[in-house]
Amino acid sequence: MTLKALEFYSGIGGMNYSLILSGVDCRVVQAFDINTNANKVYYHNFHHRPSGKTIESLSKEDLQAYEADLYLMSPPCQPFTRQGLQRGNNDPRTRSFLHLLSLIPHLLPKYILIENVVGFEKSDTHETLTSVLSNAGYIYTQFHLSPTQFSIPNQRLRYFCVATLPPREIEHPIPEKSSEQILTFIPRNPHFTSESSSSDQSSSSSKPKQTCKKIQEFLIEGIDDEYIIPSEVLLGSGMLFDIVFPDSTHSCCFTKSYGKYIEGTGSVIQLAPPSVKADLLNPSSLIPLKLRYFSPLE
């Protein structure tokens, strides 16, 4: 039987697309997001328009009508980021997630998947989440995972929580009891060792068995000139760029400010050979590197 899913904070459909790639017999029956631009992209991707209702306005009866088995949630991360005020439950942007958590004991979906930034697990919102799940009878497992662990050459460490209500209808390697331990690997997944590890981001006890793919496998031919970084940008703050090469197996996390700001927004590609290097004291030496941005599709 095909399972039904609700995708909250749907954005452009990352959770939906991952669900499709997983091969699980499940379909998203409704998505929810208040960002009109994201909803247009979501419609382009899946030919299904998300609801623009605020999540706080959704009642128990509204959600019961979908008879969903799986809830996918990626609530706003700003209340939990290291750069933010870390106000957690006291941040207005957390209200919608707290509203959903208040409905969980009444709706009891069989499966829940939650994604957020690393640091969420230290918040009072995380305490609320685990309390709600435990009191409602869920078994949950928590992870710190990054695309690099799945052979994708981009570092984007994130917190995940998978919760299930016994008995399970989907076979998966999640433990049979809840644990406060945060795993940095997926049990019995062939990409990882079977060693458990702590939530320490520097832990190396679960390194992937295979290396990441090279960036060149994700590059599109014929668009280099379109994304070349202007000389005036290079001469301004160009020394702050994180530079990678087509044969690199890593890149920095991309943010929504990529292409507008430089530091900490994502890597750029050097088209010139690695032997061509810049002088840290001379910004004009960046020009021969032939640096370009990654395209949105890349």
Q: Over the stretch 58-70, which tens digit does the pLDDT of each residue have?
A: 999 999 999 999 9
Contact 272, 290 (CB under 8 A): yes
DSSP label of 51: B
pLDDT in tens, 64-101: 999 999 999 999 998 888 777 778 888 899 999 999 99
Q: Is the dihedral of CA 114, 24, 171, 135 positive or negative?
A: positive
Q: What gap in Å lies between CA 276 and CA 181, rounded to an integer?
A: 46
Contact 176, 139 (CB under 8 A): yes
Q: What gap in Å lies between CA 33 and CA 147, rounded to an integer?
A: 24
DSSP label of 193: -
Q: At 202, is the pLDDT very low, low, confident or very high (cuts 50, 70, 90)?
A: very low
Residues linked to residue 270 through DSSP beta bridges, in sequence order:
291
pLDDT in tens, 212-267: 899 999 999 999 999 999 999 999 999 999 999 999 999 999 988 999 999 989 99
Long-range contacts of 78-86, Cβ-Cβ distance < 8 Å, separation of 24 or more: 79/123, 79/125, 80/116, 80/117, 80/119, 80/120, 80/122, 80/123, 80/125, 81/117, 81/119, 82/119, 86/119, 86/123
Catalytic residue numbers read: 77
Strands (E), 133-265: 139-145, 158-164, 182-183, 242-244
How would you list the strands of the sheet with 139-145, edge to edge? 26-32, 3-8, 70-73, 111-117, 158-164, 139-145, 182-183
Contact 111, 71 (CB under 8 A): yes
At 237, is the secondary structure helix, strand, or coil? helix
Q: What gap in Å lies between CA 43 and CA 32, rounded to an integer?
A: 12
The amino acid at residue 62 is D
- Most confident stretch, 53-57, 193-197, 210-214: 53-57
| % the chain with pLDDT above 70 | 88
Q: How many Cβ atoms from other residues are within 10 Å of residue 174's Cβ?
A: 20
At 192, is the secondary structure helix, strand, or coil? coil
pLDDT above 90 for 188: no
At 121, is the secondary structure helix, strand, or coil? helix
Contact 164, 131 (CB under 8 A): no
Contact 178, 155 (CB under 8 A): no
pLDDT at 247: 96
